[in-house]
Amino acid sequence: MDHPASSYPVLSLHIAGQWIDDTGNGFIPVFDPATGRQISQLPKATERHLEMALAAAANAGSGWAAVPVRERAALLRAAALLLRGRAETIAAMVTMEQGKPLAEARSEVLRSADLIEWNADAAVALMEDEGLRAEGGSSIALVPVGTVAAFTPWNVPVLSPARKVSMALAAGCACILKPAEETPASAVELVRAFVDAGVPAGVLGLVFGDPASISDHLIRSPVIRKVTFTGSVPVGKHLAALAGSFMKPVTMELGGHNPVLILQDADVRHVAKAAAMGKFRNAGQICTSPTRFYVHTSQFDDFVEAFAAETAALRIGNGLEADVQMGPVASERRLTALQKLVSETLREGAKLIAGGARIGEEGYFYAPTLLTDIGPDSTFMREEPFGPVAGIFPYDTTAEGLALCNASSLGLAAYVFGTSDAETGKVASGMESGIVGINSFSVSRPDLPFGGVKDSGYGREGGIEGLKAFLVTRVVAR
C-alpha cells in the first residue's frame, strides 16, 4: 500500500562523517512485516569499517568533550527540531520496516524528539549546576566517560537509539551506534538528524552487520569506554561478561515478564479496556508490556470476559492503513517463536480464551491471544512472550497475588490497579521490579529513570540517573 510519506531511504553506514552504502561485504535483506516482502538491503560493515569508526571516535572524542555543554545542548535541540519536522516521513519508514501502526510510529518519533531535548537541558543543569566545591581549594567535577558503544533493539527503533545517543552526546561522549538490522531506516534517519544539526564528523558513528561480530569487536577495543545495551537476557549477560573482562561499565536494559495485580476493589471492565490497549500496543513487542494478569477470584470471570471482548474489538492490519490498532509482529522469526510458545503452553494444559493462531498467509500477523489455566512451570512462565500474548491468573489474597507477581527471574515493570491509594501504594512497594505503574500502563518519560532488577538488567536509562551513567566523577585534591 502507498502512503504520501512512505518512500524508503537508501540504507547506509555513517563513519567519520561519510555515508557508506556499499562496503563490498554483502547486504542484509530488509522486509516489510505486513507483507513479508523485501523492501531494501542493508550494507554490512567489515572489520576495516569498524576500525575506521573507532579511529574517528577516538580522534573526535576529546574535541567533543571540550565543547561547552551549552553548545552541545544547542546541537541536540537542533537535532530534535529536525526530527519533529521529518516526523511524518520517518514514521512511515518505521511502520514499513517494523509494522507498528502509523499513529504509534509518529508518537515514537515525537517522543524521541522530546527525550533528546530533555537530555540536552538536563546535561546543562547537571554539569553546570552540580559543579561541587570541596574544602581547601579541592574540586569535584563530572566529566565524560569516553566513547560509548550503544546497541539497540528493533521494537522501538527510534526511541531506544535516541535515548542512548542523546545521553552520550549530551554528556560529551562520542558514540558508535549499532542498531537492529531489522529496522535500519529508523536509525539512519535519527543519525541523519544529528549530522544535519551539526554534530562533528566522528562523534557519532553508525554501523550494521553481524551483531555478534560487531559487539565483540567494539567491546574489546580500548577506544570504547562504556557499553549500553537493550535486548534479550542471554545476549545481555554475554555482553556484560565480555565488558566486565575489560572493566568497562555497562548499562543493561533487558527483558521483562511484567505482572499486573488487579486488586479486589478495582473496576475490572475499566482495567480490561486499559489492558487491551497496554498489552497489544506495538503487538505486545514492548519490554514493559504487561504479560501476566493476576485477578482476585471474585472478579476473575468478569475480567476474562471483558478482556476477551476488548481484544476481539481490536482492528488489526497493515499499519499504514487508517484506524489500524495493531499491526504484524516484526519478523518471521518472532511469529515462529510465538506459535511455538502458545502451542507448547496449550499442550501443557492451558486454556485458550482468544486468538492463538496466525492471521492470514501474507505478512507476520498473529492474533491477540489470551490464555488461562497456565501452570507455574509452563513454557509461558519460563519464556518472555514478546508479542500479543497474555496470561490471566486468579488469586485469593493480596499477599498471594503479590507473591505470584514476584515469582519470576525478571523484574523490569509491574502494575497494580485498585481504588485505594494506600493499598496500591503498599502493593507497589512490594513489587520486585525497577518500575511500577499504579492504575496506568504508561511508565516511560524522559525525566524518569528506566531499568530493571534481577535478570532484567542493571543500571538506568533516562532521567538524571541515566545521564550520570555517561559521566565519571573526577576529584582534584589540593
What whole-number distance in Å separates Cα of residue 430 and Cα of residue 408?
14
pLDDT in tens, 403-430: 999 999 999 999 999 999 999 999 999 9
CATH number, domain of 221, equals 3.40.605.10
Whether residues 148 and 54 fall in one domain: yes
Whether residues 124 and 186 fall in one domain: yes
Whether residues 178 and 320 fall in one domain: no
Residue 253 among the catalytic residues: yes
What cell numbers appear for 302 in the block? 468478569
**For residue 371, is it within any domain?**
yes
Q: How many domains does the chain have?
A: 2
Could you tell me if 398 and 440 are in contact, meaning their C-beta atoms sit under 8 angstroms apart?
no
Residue 130 reports pLDDT greater than 90? no
**For residue 8, is it within any domain?**
no
Which pairing describes strands 351-354 and 369-372: parallel, antiparallel, or unpaired? antiparallel
**For residue 75, is it within any domain?**
yes
Could you tell me if 105 and 98 are in contact, meaning their C-beta atoms sit under 8 angstroms apart?
yes
**For residue 65, is it within any domain?**
yes
**For residue 5, is it within any domain?**
no
Could you tell me if 379 and 346 are in contact, meaning their C-beta atoms sit under 8 angstroms apart?
no
CATH number, domain of 396, equals 3.40.309.10
Residue 4 reports pLDDT greater than 60? no
The C-alpha torsion from 8 through 13 and 14 to 15, rounded to 10°, is -170
pLDDT in tens, 6-46: 589 999 999 999 999 999 999 999 999 999 999 999 999 99
Whether residues 294 and 211 fall in one domain: no
Among 253, 310, 384, 461, the one annotated catalytic: 253
Please state the pTM of the whole predicted model: 0.95
DSSP 424: H
What cell numbers appear for 446 in the block? 524522559
Among 117, 173, 182, 287, the one annotated catalytic: 287
Could you tell me if 357 and 338 are in contact, meaning their C-beta atoms sit under 8 angstroms apart?
no
- Full domain range(s) for residue 312: 258-445
Neighbouring residues of 395: CB distance < 8 A, sequence distance ≥ 6: 294, 295, 296, 297, 401, 404
pLDDT in tens, 264-283: 999 999 999 999 999 999 99
